[in-house]
Amino acid sequence: MRLDKWVWSVCLIKNRTLSTALCRQGKVLVNGDEGKAAKMIKTGDIIEVKGNLYRKVRVIKFAAKPIKKELAPIDYYEDLTPDEEELSDIFDPHARVNNKFRDFKYKRKKDGRVSKKDKRARNKLKN
């Protein structure tokens, strides 16, 4: 299975575009080596993800489609992430990751336009 697809399907990274971007930036390692997005992984491989959070996992099983976040650590990977004391030597958790795939919610500007929902409600009242 492709590295970027597996990392996304077990919810280590939020979306597949971001997982591909992190692979291109060299922030996803497979068995200590830089992992390309299309690299084929197998069970037993150790994967390190250095995104906003540092995660180190061992692949147990493959997921054909995205699974629930709660089931992933039980069935699909074994978490090998070190404790916070050991983690500070490897990765600075307070460092900012500069990427264009930041998580934010789009807020609609109040510019006076009527939304589709408002139009439907208005038309329903008229009829």
Instruction: Using only the alpha carbons of the chain, give its radius of gyration.
Output: 20
Average pLDDT score over the chain: 80
pLDDT, tens digit, for every residue of 101-124? 444 444 455 666 777 888 888 888
What's the pLDDT score for residue 3? 92
pLDDT, tens digit, for every residue of 42-55? 999 999 998 778 88
Distance CA(79)–CA(86), nearest Å, equals 15
Distance of CA 52 to the CA centre of its chain: 10
Length of the chain: 127
How is residue 73 written in tokens? 């650590």
The pTM of the full predicted model, rounded to 2 decimals, is 0.64
Q: Which domains does the chain have, with CATH numbers?
A: 3-105 (3.10.290.10)
What's the pLDDT score for residue 92? 53
